Structure 1
């Protein structure tokens, strides 16, 4: 259990719940029909909306060997970007990213394509963001090694071969969701001169332990959560993030001033 609590919080929670719910369902202990996404049961005014299906549909794997394989892919790429990606340098950033891509997946796969489960699409979203951050990194896909930029397409191809066209199309919505996040938060603000409207609220940062002056240990170094300063004017001004990230861990045991080499 000590090891479990040291894992990235968002990915570990989704992975653990996915294994638990799927194992209980395929083991006949619970009925997965009450957990899959069913649009008429969720978006209705004739009865109490079964809103939990929006979330539980992300916790159901495919049967048999996929009970292990699907959570493996989810954790492999989700934990990597939650730990290391510079996109998510502030506490809670990865949580907001997951909420955004999950919402897009529900809209596209659930409402338009009538898909019942979304975990493969979420795994593909994580894999796409991982590939965007590490395009030249070598990854192993079963017995094949290739650049990470081809990883999302390998996952899609495997789904198409094993499960067919409709599941592959539903999984593709994860790639669309992750690319939309990349466009709205990086491409459009950087190259199009637009504004990034996707940000992490202060309350979410506090959920993930952010306090003024605290040090957030990460896989690639640490993040110092700043005290914030106001930007803009008027009541709608947002506090600017003053956090900073280092490329390596602080090996000197503090953040105070150093000394000139050779000095006493």
Structure 2
């Protein structure tokens, strides 16, 4: 049991937390322990007293029934881990959090306007898959029992849904559209259009997620890397890269004793 818990806590923090929320919510709802009415989102729920301000988040916590209780958390963990650990698009946790917030907001807006869905996890899974596969373009990726080009995996997911549950395809398409919009505004337009990143990560998220400079651990002390503009601690004299005080460095080039 301790080994399982160790493996759980060693998993990437954001992927672990999101997957756990999906598993707990889905099992609780489908077993009748939790009411579905606590988690869905519709615009009118924000006008209630008290307003359901938690619903735009919890509407992403419910998986599809039966086999979906296993597959949906698996896909979320798989793609979230790729983005959190291996993607150059999200070097900081706040970048990935901003991605989830912006793409999730787009998915909600598209579904409120076009589909009328009140739970959105399937759309977010498709968005995560699309974004993760952009880093693997030109490589091969596995989809169930098949090997396909990585960039085609999201479309394979839509095709599988079309065969098993056609009603879920519009929700997945909203996730595809939202992920592509994010990719266009943050990567394609800046790189190929010469414009700025239109969805930069706001500074307040960095302040919320900033980790301590020194982390005490059971097996030693870890130091967080300094930001590029962060001064080094403990340096009071001299300039970067030198052990001499400024007063000594300002005396000129100097001469060797006994020289000409």
TM-score, normalised with respect to structure 2: 0.77
SS in 1 for 2:134: helix
Q: 1:91 to 1:65 in 2, by over 3 A?
A: closer
Q: 1:110 to 1:10 in 2, by over 3 A?
A: farther
Is 1:185 aligned to 2:189, yes or no?
no
User: How far apart are residue 38 of structure 1 and its match?
Assistant: 2.5
Residue 65 of structure 1 aligns with which residue? 67
SS in 1 for 2:89: helix
SS in 2 for 1:92: helix
Cα deviation digits, residues 123-182 of structure 1 (max 9, x gap): 111100111110233222221111111100011111122111x42111111111111111
User: How far apart are residue 32 of structure 1 and its match?
Assistant: 1.1
Q: 1:175 to 1:228 in 2, by over 3 A?
A: farther
Aligned residues: 219
User: How far apart are residue 210 of structure 1 and its match?
Assistant: 4.5
Task: State how far apart, in whole Å, the 1-side matches of 2:229 and 2:106 are.
Answer: 31
Give me the CA root mean square deviation: 2.3
Q: 1:11 to 1:99 in 2, by over 3 A?
A: same
Residue 128 of structure 2 aligns with which residue? 126
Structure number with greater CO (CA < 8 Å, separation at least 6) is: 1
Is 1:4 aligned to 2:5, yes or no?
no
TM-score, normalised with respect to structure 1: 0.76
Unaligned runs of 5+ in 2: 216-223, 231-240, 242-260
- Checking the alignment, whether the CA contact within 8 Å between 2:61 and 2:121 is kept in structure 1 is yes
